[in-house]
Structure 1
Amino acid sequence: MKRNKSNAAFNPYFLLCISILAIAISSIMIKSSNTPPSVAGMYRLFVSVLIMLPFVSWKKLKLLRLTKYDWLLVLSAGFFLGLHFLFWMESLSYTSVASSMVILTLQPLFVMIGSYFMFKERVNKLMVLCMITAVLGSIIIAWGDIGASREALFGDALSLFGTIAISAYMLAGQKVSHKIPANLYSIIVFFIAGSVLLIYSLMNHFSLIAYSSSDWMYFFLLALIPTIFGHFIFNLLLKSIGATTVSVGVIGEPVLAIILAYIILGEAVSFFQILGGLFTIAGMGFYFWAKYK
């Protein structure tokens, strides 16, 4: 789809780059905080809902022609988003930013598989080979963490579960993206996901209010940067460029996250993380080239 150069700021790929940077920053923010991941995830979603509410016309909700199946997809999307935040944010308590973020780049693999069955998107042998290369990269990362500690391996597993959950979230979103405005859809799924994290936090008896002013500022920044400038933009782009293309964009996240973790947190990068990261990023990069050449 061709677009006017004067509207470059609204080009979907420009917006995709912004969202990728916002998500990469989130891993540094989460790693720097000691608050329970489920509480931080809950507040980032609920605060995002409050920020976005004034910009939504609820009259449009009555005009939507959503079936029971469509509403089931929306509810499922919110549930999977909640699981993603729970697993992925928790993973950063056990493993490094580098490992967690590179494993997250497997998202396009799961989305590609789901898109094949749900939307009949065609894939060729080169795309499959690229995906196998990406999976090999994550295996190398996990292998390196086996030698590091059991906790690191557990963190890698949590990151993988979070990746599967966000893939299901993206696929469900694409399925209903043509029937509901992105801002209204985002508010609904953010609220559902936040509720999932609220229930988990209550079950584990985490405090919901006993936090310092710096923690509350952290919750607000998580809502503004990675949620609104990250996940909301992802939802906005589902209709125009699709879940697979949005997911392929995550190949830029580990590069930015690893650089930021090294500069800001002083986090060391192991040989296995570098080698596995190169495999994963190369696999995803060639996939993107093979699909859109």
Structure 2
Amino acid sequence: MSYLILFAAVFFLSTSVLFVKWTSAPAETAAFYRMLFTCLMLLPFVDFKSLITTRLMTRYALLLSGTLLAFHFWLWFLSLDYTTVASSTLFVTSSPIFVLIGNALIFKKNPTRKGLAFALVAVLGGMRVAAGDVQLGREALFGDLLALIAALLIAGYWLVGQQVRASMNTNTYSFSVYLVATVVLCF
């Protein structure tokens, strides 16, 4: 059963960007509804007692994390108006490179040589795609830039989340962050 759930999660995550590309709704609207529906699905699994007793600093971290997530989805979905799904997805999934850098700079966790080698390959691949997008025009490069900024934002979300998640239930953490993102995207 767990493999079925894993397959479904990977399938829906992998294909969701196509639905965003096909919609005529503005990027912020698509991002808002993505977060809202996810919040509603998580609602039955939230431990509200532990959420109420959360420390003030953890609440600030949840606000930061949710805001980063909101802007990540908005900019990623907006990038699809300017560049191809493939380019946008490639740049937005470069986020582990920024997590690697953030972990090294903020948390003093030195990356492995293997991690650095993979990051170098990813950067070179991204440069190759961007060079190809030059032929598509400035609009495609602007979309690439938006997706790259979205990657930075999701990396920030992960960096904040790795600290907060140590003290919270996964469903409660996810619900809290998605709720903040939903509220941010509402404005």
Q: Deviations over 1:140-187 (max 9, x none)?
A: 111111111211111101100100000100111111111111111111
Matches within 5 A, 1:199-218: 199=187
What is the root-mean-square deviation in Å for CA atoms of aligned residues?
Answer: 1.9
The residue aligned with 1:99 is 87
Post-superposition shift, 1:61? Answer: 2.2
- The runs of 4+ residues in structure 1 deviating greater than 6 Å are none
Residue 18 (structure 1) shift = 4.9
Alpha carbons of 1:32 and 1:77: their partners in 2 closer, same or farther (altered >3 Å)? Answer: same
Residue 135 of structure 2 aligns to a residue in which SS?
helix
| 1:58 aligned residue (24, 44, 48) | 48
Cα distance between partner residues in 1 of 2:48 and 2:114: 45
Q: Return the alpha-carbon distance in structure 1 between the equivalents of residues 175 and 48 of structure 2.
A: 11
Matches of residues 1-293 of structure 1 in structure 2 within 5 Å? 9=2, 15=6, 18-64=8-54, 66=55, 68-199=56-187
Percent identity between matched residues is 35
> Any idea what the Cα deviations from partners look like across 1:91-114, whole Å, max 9, x if unmatched?
111111110111123111101111
Deviation digits for residues 165-210 of structure 1 (CA, Å, limit 9, x no counterpart): 00100111111111111111111111111122211xxxxxxxxxxx
In the aligned structure 1, how far is the partner of 2:15 from the partner of 2:144? 19
Say whether the 8 Å CA contact 2:45–2:172 is kept in structure 1.
no
Please state how far the C-alpha of 1:139 moved relative to its aligned partner: 1.1
TM-score by length of 2: 0.90
Greater Rg by CA = 1
Task: Give, in angstroms, the shift of residue 34 of structure 1.
Answer: 0.8
Partner AA of 2:164 in structure 1: V
Q: AA paired with 1:48?
A: T
Q: CA deviation at 1:136?
A: 1.2
1:151–1:25 CA distance, 2 compared to 1 (3 A): same
Q: 2: distance between equivalents of 1:130 and 1:194?
A: 34
Q: Could you say if the C-alpha distance between residues 19 and 120 of structure 1 is closer, same or farther in structure 2, counting changes exceeding 3 Å?
A: farther
| Cα distance change of structure 1 residues 174 and 101 upon mapping to structure 2, 3 Å threshold | same
Distance in 2 separating the partners of 1:192 and 1:37:
17
Uncovered stretches (5+) of structure 2, i.e. residues with no partner: none
Q: What displacement does 1:119 show?
A: 3.6
Task: Report the AA paired with residue 106 of structure 1.
Answer: S
Q: Report the CA distance between 1:50 and its aligned residue.
A: 2.0
